[in-house]
Structure 1
Amino acid sequence: MKAIVVRAYGGLENLEIAEVPERKVGPDDVLVRVRAAGVNPVDWKIGKGYLDAMLTVYFPFIPGWDLAGVVERVGPGVTEFAPGDEVYGYARMDYVQHGTYAELASVPLRTLARKPASLDWVRAAGLPLAGLTAYQSLRAVGGPGAGRTVLVHAAAGGVGSLATQIAVAAGARVIGTASERNHDFLRSLGAEPVVYGDGLADRVRALAPDGVDAALDYVGGDAVAVSKQVVVDGDGSRIASIVDAEGVARAGGHLVWVRPDSADLAALGELADQGTLTVHIDRQLPLAEAAEAWRASTEGRTRGKIVLTVS
């Protein structure tokens, strides 16, 4: 089968498309014929070696944790799916070696759910990691909740745009930070946009004089510090971050490291099929152009998701 392979830490030049052996299907595994694979910043960060202290990497490795595709075969312990089922998932394992940038991926049952019927392959592949991150970080700060005001940093990005939609669907008011070019996009999601940068706390207070009920940091920098200034009573437990471990710990908030969860994936799928959640695609590229996808991701200006089409 064809796959993108990385043989050593480094830059985009280390990505190559190659023929690799098909993986074995373990007792609780599902072999998926991949139709599309989502691209996430963590993919190229692993490729550059930035997460070497945390993750065990076996070279050569196939990148990618997001997928949408069709079940090809199941392990003997799997009763939840059968060949021909359409699935999507966040196929993160405890080590890095066999990812989703491939024609076939053998992944643990616990990482999969049925693909939302309302999403095409590309949008379904863009939802798992970013959607779970948004869903789990909102849960960490008590959920969006009708009548609550939620501040979302980097609200136009892959995770932020999904968190915004989830919160709006739950009846929350969302204030979202973004560059001015993305303000109309945020309004289309139901958010009130503000420009990030110097003076952000004052701009948020102008919109929410009594403070915000929760704040989600998807960008880093001074986002946690600003959040601490604008959450109700300066309560750090109302803040979640996916990037600033030290800052959110000092603030008394929550560091969120997304985890695979079939039930959460199913809940996201229900929101999609209800028409309250969609995935905005910044660009889609063929598998062979994975290096270009990584280059675009490293620029940090993506509106929504980047997805590789596989078959």
Structure 2
Amino acid sequence: MQEQSSQTPTDRSRAVQLNAFGGPDVLDVREVPAPQAGPGQVRVRVTAAGLNPMDWLMTADADTAARFGLTLPVGFGTDYAGVVDQIGDGVSGFSSGDRAFGGALSRAVADFVVVDSSGDTAANEAHHTPDGVDDRIAATLTIAGRTASAALAAINPGPDDTVLIGGAGGGVGVFAVQLARIAGARVIGTGSPSSADHLRELGAEPVVYGDGLADRVRALAPDGVTAAMDLHGEETVHVARELGVPDKRICTIAAQIDGVTAANGANAAPGTLEEIARLVAAGRLRVPVEASFAIEEIRRAVELQAGRRVKGKVVIDLQEVVFG
């Protein structure tokens, strides 16, 4: 096993953990034994961890946690970015000092994560961080990027489409809007009145959600909407149906509705994450980070993220962030 030990102690580390399921008030920063890379694994010294709604949803109660295979005590967060500092036996493709990002299910908000070097799911994976992508941005890509890509694949937008995206300014929405625009589609995005400028910057035409949404969309798109995705709940699905969009061109990520595809990041095509990182590095996809917090501020960070009013992403900084 190769090890790079000069930058941080390798016997103890900080990690956010829960000893009981619940909300932000059960999150604590604890000192824990530092994980060690085994055969086929790499250890990453985490510099930044991105937050997602699934982080707190899947640790809110025992039944939900069990569906993800989580038991107490449990860590928190999935998206991470950092620097490889330990290489297990049999690993090829990574060296100590390589920048890496990926997913470590419910254990990313920690000084170190250990993942399979060849893993390809958000629960347990590492990818090389491209030049031009800083750690804070790399730490936002895994869950939201894959979910947005899977949602787009479900409706397959193109230059002839006008796509209605509900919850367009949120963590998944920032990816979905831009990927749909890259595919050539016109995008109408729902949000609050205060999010209009944010949505325009992403490339969407903003429309306020709530009562009268269908009429407001008709006014923006008198020739009709051809596809839709609901990234928040069910409102956009019902409006899309009212506007004549067939179910086969509607998808959700947070609701189960008969006849409508429920997109899941686990179903994203192979290579999705690398392609999204390349788009970021090339300047074709922008990831707005609304706020970053120190690990000791984890409760405040999760409260902000869970409020569902964030324009973009929330990130936890654990070490000095490496800029691409």
Structure 1 residues 21-30 or 190-199, which shifts more? 21-30
Give distance in 1, aligned partners of 2:77 and 2:269. Answer: 17
Q: Is the 8 A contact 1:151 1:212 kept in 2?
A: yes
Residues 1:304 and 2:312 aligned together: yes
Instruction: Name the TM-score, length of structure 1 as normaliser.
Output: 0.90
Match of 1:27 among 35, 39, 62: 39
Q: Is the 8 A contact 2:100 2:126 kept in 1?
A: yes
* Structure with the larger helix share: 1
Instruction: Name the TM-score, length of structure 2 as normaliser.
Output: 0.87
Q: Is the 8 A contact 1:112 1:262 kept in 2?
A: no
Give distance in 2, aligned partners of 1:288 and 1:81. Answer: 30
Q: Is the 8 A contact 2:65 2:71 kept in 1?
A: no
Match of 1:230 among 226, 239, 243: 243
Q: Deviations over 1:33-77 (max 9, x none)?
A: 101000111111123216235222221111111001111123334
Partner of 1:41: 53
Query: Where do residues 47-196 of structure 1 align in structure 2 (5 Å cutoff)?
Result: 47-49=59-61, 51-52=64-65, 54-92=67-105, 99-108=107-116, 109-110=119-120, 111-142=125-156, 144-196=157-209
Give distance in 2, aligned partners of 1:230 and 1:276. Answer: 31
Which contiguous aligned blocks of 4+ residues in structure 1 show a shift greater than 4 angstroms? none
Give distance in 1, aligned partners of 2:87 and 2:251. Answer: 37
Which ranges in structure 1 are unaligned for 5 or more consecutive residues? none
Matched residue of 2:110: which SS? coil
Give distance in 1, aligned partners of 2:180 and 2:233. Answer: 21
Instruction: Tell me the percent identity.
Output: 40
One-letter amino acid of the structure 1 residue matched with residue 43 of structure 2: L
Deviation at 1:258, TM superposition (A): 1.4
Partner of 2:260: 253
Give distance in 2, aligned partners of 1:150 and 1:113. Answer: 31
Match of 2:295 among 274, 287, 299: 287
Give distance in 1, aligned partners of 2:89 and 2:155. Answer: 39
- Inter-CA distance 201–270: structure 2 relative to 1 (3 Å threshold): same
Q: Is the 8 A contact 2:137 2:287 kept in 1?
A: yes
Give distance in 1, aligned partners of 2:77 and 2:280. Answer: 23
Deviation at 1:205, TM superposition (A): 2.1
Give distance in 2, aligned partners of 1:261 and 1:17. Answer: 35
Give distance in 2, aligned partners of 1:11 and 1:184. Answer: 31
Matched residue of 1:73: which SS? strand
Which ranges in structure 2 are unaligned for 5 or more consecutive residues? 1-12, 320-324
Deviation at 1:170, TM superposition (A): 2.2
Matched residue of 1:270: which SS? helix
Give distance in 1, aligned partners of 2:72 and 2:65. Answer: 12
Match of 1:265 among 273, 282, 286: 273
- Inter-CA distance 262–284: structure 2 relative to 1 (3 Å threshold): farther
Partner of 2:9: none
Give distance in 1, aligned partners of 2:170 and 2:73. Answer: 30
Deviation at 1:116, TM superposition (A): 3.3
